Each structure stands twice: as C-alpha cells, then as structure tokens.
Structure 1
Amino acid sequence: MFERLGKAKYVVPLVLGIVVACVMSVMFYPMANMEMKGLPFAVLSLDEGVETPQGTMNVGETMIEGITSSTATEDGEESPIAWAKVGSQEELDEALENGEYYGALVVPADFSAQQMAAKQAETQASLAQAQALMAAQAQAQAAAAAAGGAAAGDQAAAMAAMTAGGDASTGDQAAAMAAAASGATAAGGDQAAALAAAGQAGSSDQAAALAALAGQSETATEAEEVEAPALKVIIDKAKSPLVASQMGTSISSMFQQMGVDVDVETIHTGSAAGDDAASANPMSGMVSLQLAIMPLFMVSMMTGLFLSRIFKKKPGEPSAARWQSIGIQAAYAVAASLIVSLCAYCMLLWVAGIEAPMGAIVPFMWLASFCVMLLFIGAFNISTGLGALLAVIGFALGMMTGTFPFEALPVFWQDWVYPWAPQRFMSEGIRAILYLDAGAWNVGSAPLVIVGAVGAVLACIAALIPGKKVAKEAAAA
C-alpha cells in the first residue's frame, strides 16, 4: 500500500505524528482547563429556633438564606458550589440516594439554642473576670494607702523629738541626744512594723488576687463545658471521589474561618481497598478509574478494528456470506471482551490496589467491552474511514468524561460529548459497584447496551451493503 504513495510515503510518519499530537492535546484539554463550578450541594435547616425577649431567633434559617443567596462571586463568575435548599430530611435522603447532589450541609435542630447558651456562658465568663480584676485592684490600692499613712506618722514623731532636744540647754544636750537616739530607734522599729504590716497586707492582697484568678479559671472552665454549636457536612463519595476529597476539606475550612465547628460525614464509601489513599491524595481516585476505563475502551476499540479486518466481507460474496462474516466477528467479540474485562480487573487489583467485587465488576466490564467492540465492528465494516473517525472522536473527546464530573468539564464537552461518551457510562457503572455495592446491572449498563445496539445497527447496514465487485456487476447489467 505504501508503494502506491510514491514519495508521499515519507510524509506519512510526520502526518501521523501531527495527528497523534492533536488527538492527545484534545484529550487532555479538559484536564488542563478543569474548573470546579456550579457543583450542586444541598442545604437543609432543621433548626427549631429559640425564644428571646426580642422574639424568636433562628440562626439556622438566617445562615441558610445567606448561603443560598450568595451563589455568585463578587466579579460575577459562577460559584464553585450551587447551594440548593431542601425542605426535609426525607427529601434530602432520597436526593442523595439518587445521586442528585455531591453532598449536603445540615443545620441541627438545637443550633440556635446551643449558640445562645455558648454566648451566654462566654458573656458570664467575661463579666466574672472583669469583676475579679476590679476587686483585686481595689484591695491593692487600700493596702498601699494604709501602709503609706503608718510610715508618715512615725516620721513626724521622730522629727518632733529632735526639735525638743535642740531647744534644751547645753547641759541637757546629752539627754536630748539620748532621747533622739531612742526616738530614732523607736521610729526605726515603727517603720519596721509598718513595713511588716504592709508586707502582710501585700501578701493578703496577693492571696486575694490568686483566689480571684482561680475563680476566673473555674468560670472559664464552666464556659468551655458548654458545647459549641456544630454544622453537619455530608459528602457523597459515589458521586465523584475527586470532588468528595476536595469539598470535604474546603467546606470545613470555610465554616471554621467563620468560627463555626463542622462535623464531616462521608457516605457511600464502599468496601473497596485504596480508599485511604484516595482520601489522602485526591488524584489517586481519578487515576484508579482511568486504570479501568482507558484500557477497557482502547483495547475494545482496537479489537473491534482487528476483527473487522481479519473476518471482513470479501468483494463479490453473496448476502449470506456477509451475514456469516458479521456473526463470526460478533462471536469472537464475546470471547475477546471477556478477556479484556479480566485484564482490566487485574489492573485494578494489582496496580491500583482496589479489591473490587469480582462477581459484579467483571460482568459489567465484560458488557461494556463487548458493546464498544460491537460499535467499532459495525463502523469499520461499513468503511475504514468511518471507523477511524469514530475512534478518534471517541478517544480524544470521550476519555476525560470518565474521570471528571460534569461540572468540571468545559462547556463544549458538557453540551456535545458528555451525553453520549461510552467512557462516562463505564465510570458511572464502576463507581456504582465500588461505592454503592451495586451489581453488574447498574446505572451504567443500560446506556452501554444502547451503544452496543448502535453498533449492531451499523453491522447490519454493513451486511446489507454489497461488495464493490457485486456493485460494479450490477451497474454493468
């Protein structure tokens, strides 16, 4: 075939390289431009409110109204989370089971009551602390004033004695000096007594201050014993492991910055191994899915091409022979798809470390692989160009739909690729088995059967189209 191209055959490797580069660029475009926006997240307030002198106060309803009204950022761009208010716990449970939301924010029934109790305890603790400090300061000032008065009285008595000694005769100077000396000694003794009294008063004040601080500590301890109100955040891992890992952390941080505690609960965790690694590294969940989806799709596509070439219809053969050729291809596809599904299961088990239930995931991947094979068998039997075009479009555009959630894809992928991509249905079925304990027939099975039905229709069209030789003979006749 290459000999018929002449010198143009030297350009074929360059053209193939350009085509492969373009296909890979298109395939990884959604990953390079991934942006989480508009993720549906339910919000439910069970808060019963609390009665105050000013009327009923419901902090939960106020918070819900504030959250749901702020669905856009200040610059007008879409918020990462699209909050949707639900009316009851039953409505929320049903929506989460149906996979309508990535998670939910629930305000407990006693949220307002707990918040008021915490505020009252905090106010009482602050008031008690202020009163204790004021009492300690008053005692210290009184003790300092008493100590200062005693010292001033002793100094005045000593000065009076010295003045009387100076007015006496020279003969009495010795007696005056003695009196002054004894007065000085007495003054020294009185000063010592005053200092001792002041020291005792200071010690008493220190004891009072320590007692006040102890009372403050007890009051603070009592305030801490009042349970702070906490919100409940529910994360659905089955909806998207990548989103679950990111949202559980970001929502908790957002409310903790507001001073509100958050209790995070993850639902639909499944029993597959590797969940701890997925929680620690959000990208590991994405890689695990790709280890199943990418080889399953690519090998099924290549096998469909090979079967259509190996058992292709021959020019000039009758209609019965063409139908027989299609039947042989389909029969081989049944066996080949089973082998492909077993290989994909081994990759999940040995490479990703996911111990998925073999009785459910192998039959599901068997069905998915057979339907994809049948699609490409029919396309390549009609025309090699049609099969190649379908293969390029399916691989380049559809691969990331099996990894990223709908809201993270670019608009073109959301509108034109996501509704039909087989990789999306493969991902939904595998996640249903891993996280929802679903069986082989699950949410992804019926859409894949439709894909296989399209392939069967294409194969029937190919069987009805006569070969080139027969067509030429019919035209000549």
Structure 2
Amino acid sequence: MFKIFKQAGVWLAMVAVIAIIGIFSFLQIGVKNNIKLHQVPVALVNEDSGQTSTKLVKQLKKKFAGHDAQIKWVVVKHQKDLKQGFNDKKYYGALIIDHDFSQQLGQSQNYLKALVTKDKLTAMVQKNAALTTSLSPQIKAAEAQLAQTPTSAKMTVIVNQGMNATVAQALTTALPAMGNAMNQKISQQEKTVLQQNDVSLSAASWQTISNPIKVTQKKVNKIPSKSVSGAAPMLTIVFAWLGSLIGSMLLWRVYHKNKPNGRWTIKHITSQLLAGAVMSVVVALSFYFFAHTCFAMAVPNASEFIWILMGNVFVFFLLQTCILDWAGFKGWPLIIVLWLCAAAVLAYAPEIMPALYRNWIYSWIPMRFSADMITNALYFTNGSATTMSSAWVIGIIGVVALILIYLLPLKKDRQGILK
C-alpha cells in the first residue's frame, strides 16, 4: 500500500499542490492583508494669506513629511485648478483652506476676549459702583464686539471618488478628521480660557464659539449607486478577460486542427484574427446587455463604453492567441498566471499596495491600463488625459502580439497536445 509513496510522481504532485496553494495565497491573501495608505497624493489649497493658515499649512506638511507618510501633499495655488487635476487623476482628494480662514478665526478669538472682558468689568462695577464711569467705555466696546457674531472658519474636503473606491472611503474619513481635530483643539482652548477666568456662558453663547472651524465635504467623479460598490471596472475586466480567454481557446483549437498542410499560413492566421474580432464584438455587447440592460449597472455613455470594451477584449484575444499559437496548450498556465497576478491587484490603487506587489506585479500587468480606460468611461464623464495614454499602451501591446502571430509561418511546426 505504501509503495506508491516511492514513486517520484506522487511527491511531485504534493510539491505542485503546495506551490499552487502558496502562489494563490501570495496573490489573493498577501496583498489584501497588507493594504495601507502610502504617499497618497492629495491637493493642498491655501486661498488665505493670513498667518494662521500659513502656520496650519506648515504643520500639515511637517506631519506628513516622512517617506512612509500616508499622504503626499500636492500644493495647488487656486481651487479652480483642481477640476482638471481631478479629471487627470493627479490627486485622490483635496483639502482647501478658505480665503478668509485666518480672519474668521481671529473674529472668534476677539469674541472670546470680549466675553471675558465684559464679564470681568461687569463684576468689578458690581463690587464698586464708583468704577461705573471709568469702565463704562470699555464695557460698551466689549458689547460692540459681542454684537458681531463670529462665523466658523471654513475648510473644504473634496474626494476624487472615481479614482479608487477604497482610497476614497479612507480619505472621506481621514481628511475631515484633520479639520475636526483642529476644531476640537481650538474649542477646548477656548473652554479652558473661560474656565480659568470663571466665565459662565449660556447655551446660545457657547454655541456661537464652540465650532470655530467648519469642514464641508464634497465628492467629484462620483461612483454611481448601481456600480457594484465601485467594483464595476474590475468586474468588467474580469469578464473581458474571461470572454476573450474562452474565445481564444476555442478558436485556437479549431484553427490549430485545421491548419493547411499542418502549417500556419498568413491566410489562416488572418481568418483566425477576423474570427477573434467578431468574438470581441460579441463579448462586449453581451456584457453590456447583461450588466446594464438586465442588472442596471450604471453606464453613462454606452457607445464609448462598448467601443473601449471591444478594443480591450480584442487585445486580450491577441495576447492569449499569441501565447497559444506559439506555445500550444502548454501556454495555458502562463495565461492563467498572468490573470491571477492581475486579479490580485486590479481592485487596489498602487498607493495602498505593499511595495512588492506594486513594483513587481502591478507595474507590468497590461490589464491595469484596460481598467484605467474602463474606469474613465464609467466615472470620469468629463474626460481624462489618462484614457489616451492607456489606449496607446494597450494598442502597442496589441500590435506587438499581432506581429508575433504573423511571424508564425517562420516557425517550424510541432505537434501540439490538442489536435
């Protein structure tokens, strides 16, 4: 019974199982359990020229100055410049300091001083009526200051949601927290001053000064509600790769078995590629029908989406067909490994991946450029400069695969596993 364990094939099978489980764990678990923000580009706009805002900007830069900092500030001079930067994916979010930030905080501080001054002077007059005449002008000045109700200094947080749902969710929490922390700090300082001077305030008066900073949140390039929680681009690429993979495998089997005289010819290859082009149209239209028509996935511009999807499916087909035509069925594992690598990282922004996955997997997988194009079509309805650059990369990959496929007639044919 135990003689079977003396055969090398049994041990090779066990090694293969361990290796496959290890690779799957590395790709599917390793990256997900090590996600954290790292040097995420966020625009910092200071539209105020006061000392308070300038000091605040210096503090923010100092806080996130290290190489391992979660946020990388990108200084932008004017808020109007943010729109194009968001569309071109230069930053995931923005923190904007309003133009009268320092002035509003100054008014809040003056209001607090007036409260303390009036309270003390009033107490002095009550103890000694003879001081009424001399202190009356100061009391009136304090009352005049109190008549000017201060308004909260404003900060605005903008999140570029369409860039990546995971990062957007993190910044939606982190950026407002910065403003709220400053608000609580200043509010606590004001409360301490009042307690030290034994000043009691009514609820209405405390409400006036208790929120010196107000943080407003906005989102741009929003992810629609029916977009699979922001995973629509990732799922689109999954179906595009899967559809092209099924098509390329079936077409390769048919054309491999029916090669003229057992050799690849230009005419035979052209026929295979034309069949692949038709298959790409079928895959794109099928996905659009089921995803949008049947399950209401949000697609702002149907024609743009379908054309981009068809182009990417065809490039995937060329890539897979190139591997299969040259390597035969033995090339199948390479196609699977390529897809597993892509599936492990496509859902994440490069700034939140561990360096190992970012530099050695994400940097070279072609599907990331396809995902960028699909993301722009679904979420960046005002257009993005990255669409054209990604299209060029995908196009070059397709052309290289196409050239290699047409070089097949120069290869000495060998019998494949599938006939």
Give 1:452's aligned residue.
Answer: 398
**How far has the Cα of 1:32 moved from its partner?**
2.3
- Contact 1:232 / 1:264 at 8 angstroms: preserved in 2? yes
Residues 451/366 of structure 1: CA separation in 2 closer, same or farther (3 Å cut): same
CA distance in 1, matches of 2:15, 2:282: 33
Residues 255/42 of structure 1: CA separation in 2 closer, same or farther (3 Å cut): same
Q: Which runs of 5+ in 2 are unaligned?
A: 1-6, 130-139, 184-212
**How far has the Cα of 1:329 moved from its partner?**
1.8
Find 2:171's aligned residue among 247, 255, 269: 247
Give 2:73's aligned residue.
Answer: 83
Give 2:288's aligned residue.
Answer: 345
Aligned residues: 364
**How far has the Cα of 1:72 moved from its partner?**
4.8
**How far has the Cα of 1:465 moved from its partner?**
0.8
Residues 379/226 of structure 1: CA separation in 2 closer, same or farther (3 Å cut): same
Q: Supply the AA of the counterpart residue of 1:425.
A: F
Give 1:261's aligned residue.
Answer: 214
Residues 1:65 and 2:63 aligned together: no
Give 2:155's aligned residue.
Answer: 231
Residues 342/31 of structure 1: CA separation in 2 closer, same or farther (3 Å cut): farther
CA distance in 2, matches of 1:8, 1:296: 40
Residues 1:300 and 2:244 aligned together: yes
Q: 106-115 or 436-445, which moves further after superposition?
A: 436-445
Find 1:466's aligned residue among 393, 412, 415: 412
Q: Supply the AA of the counterpart residue of 1:250.
A: A
- Contact 1:47 / 1:60 at 8 angstroms: preserved in 2? yes
Give 1:162's aligned residue.
Answer: none
Identity %: 20
**How far has the Cα of 1:9 moved from its partner?**
8.9
**How far has the Cα of 1:318 moved from its partner?**
7.0
Residues 1:35 and 2:36 aligned together: yes
CA distance in 2, matches of 1:466, 1:329: 19
**How far has the Cα of 1:64 moved from its partner?**
0.9
TM-score, scaled to structure 2: 0.75
**How far has the Cα of 1:443 moved from its partner?**
4.8
Residues 439/325 of structure 1: CA separation in 2 closer, same or farther (3 Å cut): farther
Q: Which structure has the bigger radius of gyration?
A: 1
**How far has the Cα of 1:387 moved from its partner?**
2.4
Residues 70/274 of structure 1: CA separation in 2 closer, same or farther (3 Å cut): same
**How far has the Cα of 1:348 moved from its partner?**
3.5
Give 1:25's aligned residue.
Answer: 25
Give 2:192's aligned residue.
Answer: none
**How far has the Cα of 1:404 moved from its partner?**
0.6
Give 1:53's aligned residue.
Answer: none
Give 1:46's aligned residue.
Answer: 47
Give 1:147's aligned residue.
Answer: none
CA distance in 1, matches of 2:380, 2:314: 24
**How far has the Cα of 1:295 moved from its partner?**
1.9
CA distance in 1, matches of 2:369, 2:158: 25
1:346-388 Cα shifts (integer Å, max 9, x gaps): 4543457324432111111111111001111011111136622
What does residue range 41-190 of structure 1 map to in structure 2 within 5 Å? 41-49=42-50, 58-72=51-65, 78-89=68-79, 91-132=81-122
Give 1:274's aligned residue.
Answer: 226
- Contact 1:39 / 1:407 at 8 angstroms: preserved in 2? yes
**How far has the Cα of 1:102 moved from its partner?**
0.9
Q: Supply the AA of the counterpart residue of 1:42.
A: A
- Contact 2:299 / 2:305 at 8 angstroms: preserved in 1? no
Give 1:312's aligned residue.
Answer: 256
Q: Supply the AA of the counterpart residue of 1:269.
A: K
**How far has the Cα of 1:417 moved from its partner?**
2.5
1:239-286 Cα shifts (integer Å, max 9, x gaps): 22321222022210222022132112212227x4437xx8xxxxx21x
Partner SS, residue 407 of structure 2: helix
Partner SS, residue 96 of structure 2: strand
Partner SS, residue 233 of structure 1: strand
Q: Which runs of 5+ in 1 are unaligned?
A: 1-6, 50-57, 140-214, 279-283, 470-477
Residues 467/103 of structure 1: CA separation in 2 closer, same or farther (3 Å cut): same
**How far has the Cα of 1:393 moved from its partner?**
2.9
Q: Supply the AA of the counterpart residue of 1:251.
A: L
Residues 453/361 of structure 1: CA separation in 2 closer, same or farther (3 Å cut): same
Residues 1:329 and 2:275 aligned together: no
CA distance in 1, matches of 2:246, 2:176: 46
Give 2:188's aligned residue.
Answer: none
**How far has the Cα of 1:406 moved from its partner?**
0.9
CA distance in 2, matches of 1:426, 1:235: 23
CA distance in 2, matches of 1:39, 1:315: 52
Give 1:178's aligned residue.
Answer: none
Residues 385/25 of structure 1: CA separation in 2 closer, same or farther (3 Å cut): farther
Partner SS, residue 459 of structure 1: helix
Give 1:159's aligned residue.
Answer: none
Partner SS, residue 317 of structure 1: helix
CA distance in 1, matches of 2:168, 2:17: 38
Give 2:323's aligned residue.
Answer: 379
1:197-245 Cα shifts (integer Å, max 9, x gaps): xxxxxxxxxxxxxxxxxx9xx999957x421101122211232232122
- Contact 2:35 / 2:352 at 8 angstroms: preserved in 1? yes
Partner SS, residue 163 of structure 2: coil
Q: 408-417 or 16-25, which moves further after superposition?
A: 16-25
CA distance in 2, matches of 1:304, 1:268: 35
- Contact 1:44 / 1:104 at 8 angstroms: preserved in 2? yes
